[in-house]
Amino acid sequence: MTQARKRRVFPFTAIVGQEEMKLALLLNVIDPRIGGVMIMGDRGTGKSTTIRALADLLPDIDVVAGDPYNSSPDDPDLQSAEVRQRLEHGEQLPTEKRQVPMVDLPLGATEDRLCGTIDIEKALSEGVRAFEPGLLAKANRGLLYVDEVNLLDDHLVDVLLDSAASGWNTVEREGVSVRHPARFVLIGSGNPEEGELRPQLLDRFGMSVEVRTVRDPELRVQVVDQRTAFDNDPDGFNTAVQATQDGLQARVVEAQNRLGQVQIDDDLRLRISAICGELDVDGLRGDIVTNRAARALAAFEGRTEVSEDDVARVAACCLRHRLRKDPLEQIDSGDRVVKVFCKVFDRADSGDRSQFELALAA
């Protein structure tokens, strides 16, 4: 049984501009192990619209019917303890199609609401200790979006990042111990004017993108016209771009299936690590994420071999937020990454910034 799509959201393929943000989101969907995306930028630049559009773009997933954790019928790493027990007893589990979950975490959320808590009503009425799943359970196999993540309590950000990294959520409450799958793509957004994340937390996001307000008058008019057309007739607007949406959805699914076949040669891996070393990046997350993002990009473009251009297109997103801040440095952190990439890969520095932007636009 397929659930009807209830959300009427602006289609992903109709969003004008912000190519770096859209690419980073798609790569994380192809390989969630990249570790999520941090989107920093001006207000009103389409951050929330793009993220909701991404969830709507993705194909429905098979889940065990009635399971609150969106458990997979066949992957033990994506199944709750109850589902695994039922399978061990030889039970034939009914399945259903569900839209990829999109959980919007409010700033005022408590840790109990996020992680889950004891069902007091059932404890009082039936005398049993039962667990009531939280937002992390609902987000399993989907997207978890935190707007203004820089205003969220640090301990909640820690919980989110730990669950996103491990794929599991463990709750200890009133003698009840529950561990359930919580594998999701964590997406945070914020405005730098309202405060920055601690460097230790920022480093835990796989990729970071910076979005800017469109200044070109023609593009601004195009954005306004697209939004007006959608608001006036959402169904008609969606129908007009459905073929493009279906095409992009098919590319993402093919990339997910192809990802395991993508290879990256030793020389490229050495150069990626040389870039991280030259930039004085702490730890090895930068190396790992850049490798994964480059492989996901190659898969997205239908190839099984990572190229230098793949590394060029993801390097800034994977490394800019891991650099140590120098208050006297005028150059943008993304440009610092590009300069070091050009040095390590022996490319001309003068033209490469435009090449990066052209590659993203493609």
What is the Cα gyration radius of the chain?
Answer: 21
What is the rounded CA–CA span in Å between residue 293 and residue 110? Answer: 33
Q: What is the dihedral of CA 277, 278, 280, 283, to 10 degrees?
A: -20
Give 157-183 pLDDT, tens digit per residue.
888 888 888 888 888 776 677 788 888
Element (H, E) at 169: strand 168-173
Instruction: Please give the pLDDT value at position 330.
Output: 46
Instruction: Please give the pLDDT value at position 354.
Output: 43
Q: Which amino acid is at 309?
A: D
Instruction: Please give the pLDDT value at position 268.
Output: 93
Domain boundaries, the chain: 12-211, 258-361
The string of DSSP letters for 16-49 reads: -S-HHHHHHHHHHHH-GGG--EEEEE-TTSSHHH
What is the rounded CA–CA span in Å between residue 230 and residue 234? Answer: 5
Instruction: Please give the pLDDT value at position 7.
Output: 60
The Cβ-side half-sphere exposure at 161, using a 13 Å CA radius, reads 20
What is the rounded CA–CA span in Å between residue 241 and residue 14? Answer: 7
Specify the CATH number of the domain 258-361: 1.10.8.80
What is the rounded CA–CA span in Å between residue 254 and residue 184? Answer: 20
Residues whose CB is less than 8 angstroms from the CB of residue 199 and which lie 6 or more positions away in sequence, other chains included:
324, 325
Count the residues in the chain: 362
Rounded to two decimals, the pTM is 0.85
Q: What is the dihedral of CA 275, 290, 204, 134, to 10 degrees?
A: 180
Q: Residue ranges of the chain with pLDDT lower than 70?
A: 1-7, 120-129, 174-175, 195, 199-200, 326-333, 348-362
CB 167 within 8 A of CB 208: no
Pairing status of strand 143-147 against strand 185-190: parallel
User: Which amino acids are annotated catalytic?
Assistant: 285
- Tokens 């490798």 locate to 291
Specify the CATH number of the domain 12-211: 3.40.50.300
Across the strands, what pairs with 185? 143
